[in-house]
């Protein structure tokens, strides 16, 4: 059983037995992994604060054959984001990011882009970037990485460019213009296409002021969240705290 290691983000932990924790982490090499951290609840244990959610760490572990759970032997902090958690809204947002990653990512699949996305999101939040704008950015990218982000620029029926607003299709695979839509429940704002264009080309901003209005961000998030809920077939638990 060789000792393996990987850069990772801690997504969540839960208690097991008397003194142990199960750690769900998102590793750079193998995506989502789960492991036992023995003695992690003992006073003065070797893990210290390295298992706090969303810590960026180097995790050392043993993989057992035919077992889903690895054994976490040690964990060193690369960068912590503890101070972000003091703000309740940021804290819930981080839970939401972690939940989406866990829900959308298959166990033990390498996901480089997602790993870099999460790292840049945390750093942008640390630099006090606009939280709602950054959440919309994260939602757009996690959908894009998973192939669930439809073209929201033109009507899927008549292919006309949508310059004012469109209606999200029932299957969330595109938008209809006002003339073609028969299902008019979920409106997609004109700012959406520009936002997606921008998000594909630019890193998450670190300036406090986003390039679009709060009202537009709200509308964009509503559409992206409708698509997320459709594909997960349920509303993410942590999203309820952000409403
Ligand atoms: Zn049309």
Crossing angle between the packed helical segments 88-104 and 112-126, to the nearest 10 degrees: 180
Token code pair at residue 165: 């607003």
Residue bearing tokens 């996305």: 117
Q: Which residues pair with 57 in a beta bridge?
A: 8, 77
Rg (CA), the chain: 20
Residue 190 Cα to ligand 1 midpoint, Å, equals 15
pLDDT above 70 coverage of the chain, percent: 98
Residue 166 Cα to ligand 1 midpoint, Å, equals 9
* pLDDT tens readout for residues 52-83: 989 999 999 999 877 789 999 999 999 998 88
169-202 as b/e: b if 16+ CB within 10 A: beebebbbbeebbeeeebbbbebbbebbebbeee
Q: CA separation (Å) from 109 to 28, 101, 230, 236?
A: 9, 12, 23, 22
Residue 158 Cα to ligand 1 midpoint, Å, equals 4
Please, how many CA atoms are within 13 Å of residue 177, restricted to the half-sphere of its CB? Answer: 14
DSSP SS3 for 155: strand
Residue 174 Cα to ligand 1 midpoint, Å, equals 11
8 Å CB contact between 108 and 96: no
Burial class of residue 47 in the structure, from the number of CB atoms within 10 Å of its CB (0-12 exposed, 13-18 middle, 19+ buried): buried
Residue 211 Cα to ligand 1 midpoint, Å, equals 28
Write the DSSP symbol of residue 32.
Answer: E
Q: What is the pLDDT of residue 5?
A: 95
pLDDT above 90 coverage of the chain, percent: 69
Q: What is the pLDDT of residue 105?
A: 85
Q: What is the pLDDT of residue 28?
A: 92
Residue 167 Cα to ligand 1 midpoint, Å, equals 10
Average pLDDT over residues 83-87: 86
Q: What is the pLDDT of residue 206?
A: 65
First-to-final CA distance of the chain:
46
Residue 221 Cα to ligand 1 midpoint, Å, equals 23
**Nearest in space to 96 (alpha carbons), one of 79, 120, 118, 119:** 118
* pLDDT tens readout for residues 161-217: 988 889 999 999 999 999 999 989 999 888 888 899 889 888 887 666 788 899 999
pTM: 0.92
E-assigned strand segments in 88-224: 166-168, 175-176, 187-188
8 Å CB contact between 60 and 97: no
* pLDDT tens readout for residues 98-109: 999 999 987 767
8 Å CB contact between 213 and 132: no
Q: What is the pLDDT of residue 6?
A: 95
Q: What whole-number distance in Å separates Cα of residue 42 and Cα of residue 33?
A: 23
8 Å CB contact between 6 and 28: yes
Comparison of pLDDT for 136 and 209, the residue scoring more: 136
* pLDDT tens readout for residues 9-23: 999 999 999 999 999
């Amino acid at each position: 059983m060789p000792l393996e290691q990987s850069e990772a983000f801690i997504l969540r932990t839960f208690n097991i037995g008397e003194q142990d924790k199960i750690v769900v982490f998102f590793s750079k090499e193998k995506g989502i992994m789960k492991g036992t951290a023995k003695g992690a609840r003992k006073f003065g244990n070797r893990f210290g604060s390295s298992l706090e959610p969303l810590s960026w760490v180097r995790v050392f572990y043993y993989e057992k054959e035919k077992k889903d759970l690895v054994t976490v032997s040690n964990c060193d902090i690369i960068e912590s984001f503890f101070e972000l958690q003091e703000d309740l809204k940021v804290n819930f947002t981080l839970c939401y990011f972690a939940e989406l990653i866990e829900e959308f990512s298959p166990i033990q699949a390498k996901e480089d882009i997602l790993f870099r996305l999460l790292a840049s999101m945390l750093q942008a939040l640390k630099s006090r970037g606009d939280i709602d704008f950054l959440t919309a950015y994260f939602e757009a990218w996690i959908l894009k990485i998973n192939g669930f982000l439809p073209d929201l620029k033109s009507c899927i029926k008549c292919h006309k460019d949508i310059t004012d607003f469109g209606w999200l299709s029932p299957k969330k695979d595109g938008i209809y213009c006002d003339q073609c839509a028969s299902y008019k429940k979920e409106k997609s704002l004109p700012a959406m296409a520009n936002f997606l264009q921008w998000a594909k080309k630019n890193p998450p901003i670190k300036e406090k002021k986003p390039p679009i209005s709060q009202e537009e961000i709200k509308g964009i998030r509503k559409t992206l969240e409708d698509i997320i809920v459709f594909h997960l077939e349920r509303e993410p638990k942590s999203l309820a705290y952000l409403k």
